[in-house]
Structure 1
Amino acid sequence: MSTPMSTPHFTVAQRVQRAVLVLLSRLPAGVQRIVARPATNTAGDTMAPDVALLMKLGESGPDYSDLPPAEARATTERDLALFASRIAACRVEEELDLGGGLPATRYSSGTPGRGLVLFFHGGGFVIGSRASYTAPARMLAHGTGADVVSVEYRLAPEHPFPAAQDDALTAWRHVVEHAASWGVDPHRIVVAGESAGGNIAAVLCQQVRGEAVQPMLQVLIQPVTDLVEHRPSQDEFAGSPALSAKQIAWFVESYLPTGTDVADPRVSPYRASSLEGLPRAIVNLAGFDPLHDDGLAYATALLDAGVPTRVDREAGLVHGYLSYTAVSPSCRRATERLVASIAKALDSADQTTTTKAS
């Protein structure tokens, strides 16, 4: 059954807030620089002026990590709806039950032969949803031609580790089994996720390694890869309004039961005994992200293990930029570049298949 996703309902005040944010994001870059004074990181990158302005506006806002999880989710869902672009609905937007009541949405632009992207949203394993990631899911479907299945995995602290990882495996089994009924070759499934979702995607690829059907590509967007080692970017951007050290600590405390071994590869995929034989990867990083160094470390480890890996680095952006596409042209363009990278990978797979067939 196909059920169109509903458009978020905003109050008058929220509509005004959104309009103001959009207007400010379109100011000349010179004006934005004067108002926001973009920071420069230790790598010599300067934050994009529109992103710097957005961060400045967010500095004085409430911190969702001071709230109970349910209230934090309500607050962030409202904000993410305000910040997200309005993307045209796909030809098919179908609600799925992936098994055991695990919900997902399948977006299809009508060219399933391109493949399928199994997508896991961000939010520190505590917040975030399919609904708040509707815009990037639709952008992926429109921009790659592939179907997208966006998974509503269970959230902590109500469902702590390893619930999200278990749900990912359930989702993988379902899409492999049902891909053919959607017109998708099960060998053309991309596993992708942002932040916590990037962790879930990386872990899933490790869990299904060696099976008859494996992901053709893993796309790790600003991923959480290692809770053991504390790397420099975590200190450099500890006060980031996009993702602070305080918020990271709240996520970890909510997600991991007392006594959990943080070196468990299902928590820290970087700590796996071997990364050999994993699917080729795109690792997407942001220059002003506390998780930058963790993502880079995982990409380096993949390369060292012989896994073809492309690192795409958005030097002037912050954590979670996929969610700011309406209020930051820089974030919108970066998201479009990410989508193009995935489309190019699908094109390369087509060319490889054609070459083998000939």
Structure 2
Amino acid sequence: MTADRDTLPLPPLAPDMQAVMDRLMAEDGVQPDPTLLPPAEGRAKAEAANRRWNGPAPAMARELIVETPGGRRAFVFIPPSDTGREAILYIHGGGWAFCSAATHEGAARRLALATGAPVITFDYRLAPEHPYPAGLDDCLSLWAEREHILSGRRWSVSGDSAGANLALALMIRLKNRDLPHCGLLFYGVFDADFESPSYRQVADGPGLTRGKMQRYWDFYAPEERRSSDPCLTPARASDEVLAALPPLYLNAAEVDPLRSDSEALAARLHALGRKDPFDTVPGVVHGFMQMSIWLPQAEAAFDRAGEAFRTMT
């Protein structure tokens, strides 16, 4: 394995990305791996680390907290450019185990500004206390209640990392019934192949590592289910399942163990004759879109997602 890894040199970090990594090290020092801590302790550390990216918060025209008939709270961010026609359900990342609507508030606001559509976030049950399919079931429940949040809209879905996995799984579970209009999927978890080119190339980070992803998967779903369930590993879904998906936009971070997941999924989609756009952002690490307050590539990625959304809608 070492020899294989040596044939895949780590891509260099972009100068702006390196500056962010240096700043984090200067401010925080070396932090414990949250996946090696008791779940509540790891979750608290991930929550604190991610909330830093929310500010300064982009201003919205309106902000709402709506409680659905099922008792779920939805956080609604309505941008000044809202036309009253679209809405986006945004599913946060965090390895199915960490983070929350609160850690991704800044991302939701930036996506709303970029797309011109309200973005709705929410909390779902987290692993390992609540493994698959609990989180996905929560996403489907909120989707079924979306008209109680904003009515008379055409709804799409988006997510980052594990949230992109859940967004795509939601579309797969819905099949041809009540599908989102389109999907915006950012550096998603779409496979569980820990020997993919990017898993070997970026096994030890910076940022996300292969070991962390293996533990996230262990928290979420047993190994024997992963290859056979397209809601877990959609890059392995049948042609029929993939062909039935609504229009998608995908991106990937170059310096990310998950890059090959998006590459493989995009290749499958394109082989079916679909025209789903796919971007790889050079020189950035997993989760880079959370870092908009310091990282120009993150702002540019939101702008590109907004362009793709307007094309699809």
- For normalisation by structure 2, the TM-score amounts to 0.87
> How many residue pairs align between the two structures?
300
Kindly report which structure 2 residues correspond to 1:184-263, keeping only aligned pairs within 5 A, or say none. Answer: 184-185=152-153, 188-211=154-177, 213-228=178-193, 230-257=195-222, 260-263=225-228
| Mapped pair 1:140 → 2:116 | no
Question: 1:174 is matched with which residue: 141, 145, 166?
Answer: 145
What aligned pairs does 1:307-346 form with structure 2 within 5 A after superposition?
Answer: 307-342=274-309, 344-345=310-311
Distance 1:243 1:183 in 2: 38
Question: Structure 1 residues 112, 70: CA separation in 2 closer, same or farther (over 3 Å shift)?
Answer: farther
Task: In structure 2, give the amino acid aligned to 1:70.
Answer: A
Q: Which entry has the higher C-alpha Rg, 1 or 2? A: 1
Rounded to whole Å, the distance in 1 between the matches of 2:151 and 2:135 is: 27
Query: How do 1:225-304 and structure 2 match up within 5 A?
Result: 225-228=190-193, 230-257=195-222, 260-273=225-238, 274=240, 275-304=242-271
- Contact 1:228-1:262 within 8 A present in 2 as well: no
1:45 CA drift (Å): 5.4
Q: Distance in 2 between the 1:294 and 1:305 partners?
A: 17
Cα distance change on mapping 1:307 and 1:42 into 2, 3 Å: same
- Residue 51 of structure 1 aligns to which amino acid in structure 2? M
How far apart, CA to CA, are the structure 2 residues paired with 1:245 and 1:338? 27
Structure 1 pair 340/155, CA: closer, same or farther in 2 (3 Å)? same
1:291: how far off? 0.5
Match of 1:71 in 2: 41
Distance 1:159 1:102 in 2: 17
Q: Is the 8 A contact 2:55 2:106 kept in 1?
A: yes
Q: Give how far 1:240 is off.
A: 1.0
Return the offset for 1:257. 4.5
Residues 237 and 244 in structure 1, CA contact (< 8 A), matched pair in contact too: yes
CA contact (8 A) 1:113 1:183 kept: no
Distance 1:148 1:246, change over 3 A: same
Q: Is the 8 A contact 1:87 1:135 kept in 2?
A: yes
The alignment partner of 1:95 has SS state of strand
Q: Matches of 1:230 and 1:165 in 2, distance apart?
A: 26
Distance 1:144 1:299, change over 3 A: same
- CA distance in 2 between counterparts of 1:184 and 1:313 reads 34
Deviation at 1:271, TM superposition (A): 2.2
What is the aligned partner in structure 2 of residue 119 from structure 1? Answer: 90
Runs of 4+ aligned structure 1 residues displaced above 6 Å come to none
**How large is the RMSD of aligned CA atoms in angstroms?**
2.4
After TM superposition, the structure 1 = structure 2 runs for residues 4-83 of structure 1, keeping only pairs within 5 Å, are: 46-56=12-22, 57-58=24-25, 60-83=30-53
Identity of aligned residues (%): 33
Q: Does the 8 Å CA contact 1:48/1:330 hold for their aligned counterparts?
A: no
Quick one: distance in 2 between partners of 1:99 and 1:183? 14
Q: Distance in 1 between matches of 2:206 and 2:157?
A: 28
Q: Give 1:74 shift.
A: 1.3
2:56 aligned with 1:96: no
Quote the offset at 1:331 in angstroms: 2.7
The Cα shift of 1:235 comes to: 1.1
Unmatched 5+ stretches in structure 2 = 1-6
Flag structure 1 segments of 5+ consecutive residues without an equivalent: 1-40, 350-358
